[in-house]
């Protein structure tokens, strides 16, 4: 829901920041992989209940996620880069609630499982429509800079990052936040299925 506005805010800083790695010959895929490796450090930090460290790793991961796209737009967007980016994004998204489950299984296990279940809904509806839109050469009217069709929803990347920040700042309320955000994710999934089906059933 907020991604279209967030993109306008962060586009210029990311474009400016991407100039140096581009001049150094650093590729977008290298930044994607580096950001994912940094993001993996979130899991042990959460397991040890070092929530501020986890928050730092999450934020660096998300900065790298934006930076790889800016570099790709300089060097040329590729299918393999888009595939790598979206796959590692969804893996990272699931890693965060899993880390909170490991940190406190008794309090967080069911809520964490529900949130990961909801992420399956948002992710599968997102990617399934992108595949069909690509077959029909349907381009996103809003996210033209993306490597695949970006169908929006109530919970997008910006909202997910905000949720993760709340998790780390208020870890004692993880379960409540996860139930609320997971429910919103299911609203997103339902609207994506409806919009996607209505779009694709047109001849």
Q: How far apart are CA 92 and CA 182, in angstroms?
A: 16
Q: How far apart are CA 203 and CA 200, in angstroms?
A: 8
CA distances from 150 to 72, 79, 110, 192 (A): 17, 15, 30, 11
State how far the Cα of 110 lies from the Cα of 89, in Å rounded to an integer.
23
Q: Catalytic residue, from 65, 68, 85, 89: name it.
A: 89
Residue 123: which of 159, 157, 166 has the closest Cα?
A: 157
The residues near 154 (Cβ < 8 Å, ≥ 6 apart) are 1, 184, 185, 187, 188, 191
Among residues 76, 60, 63, which one has the least CA distance to residue 28?
76
CA dist., res. 203 & res. 201, Å (int): 6
Tell me whether residue 89 is one of the annotated catalytic residues: yes
C-alpha 181/C-alpha 20 separation (Å) is: 37
Single out the residue of 141, 114, 123 nearest to residue 86, CA to CA: 123
- Report the catalytic residues: 89
């Amino acid at each position: 829901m907020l991604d279209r506005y967030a993109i306008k805010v962060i586009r210029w800083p990311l474009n400016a920041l991407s100039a140096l790695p581009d001049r150094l010959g650093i590729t977008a895929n290298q930044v994607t992989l580096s950001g994912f490796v940094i993001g993996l450090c979130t899991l042990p930090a959460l397991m040890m209940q070092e929530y501020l460290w986890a928050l730092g790793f999450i934020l660096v991961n998300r900065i790298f996620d934006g930076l790889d796209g800016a570099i790709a737009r300089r060097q040329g967007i590729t299918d393999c880069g888009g595939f790598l980016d979206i796959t590692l994004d969804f893996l990272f998204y699931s890693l965060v609630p899993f880390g909170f489950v490991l940190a406190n299984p008794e309090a967080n296990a069911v809520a964490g499982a529900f949130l990961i279940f909801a992420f399956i809904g948002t992710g599968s509806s997102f990617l399934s429509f992108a595949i069909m839109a690509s077959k029909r050469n349907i381009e996103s009217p809003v996210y033209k800079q993306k490597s695949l069709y970006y169908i929006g929803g109530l919970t997008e990347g910006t909202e997910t990052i905000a949720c993760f920040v709340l998790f780390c700042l208020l870890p004692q309320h993880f379960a409540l936040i996860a139930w609320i955000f997971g429910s919103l994710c299911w609203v997103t999934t339902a609207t994506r299925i409806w919009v996607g089906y209505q779009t694709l059933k047109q001849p």
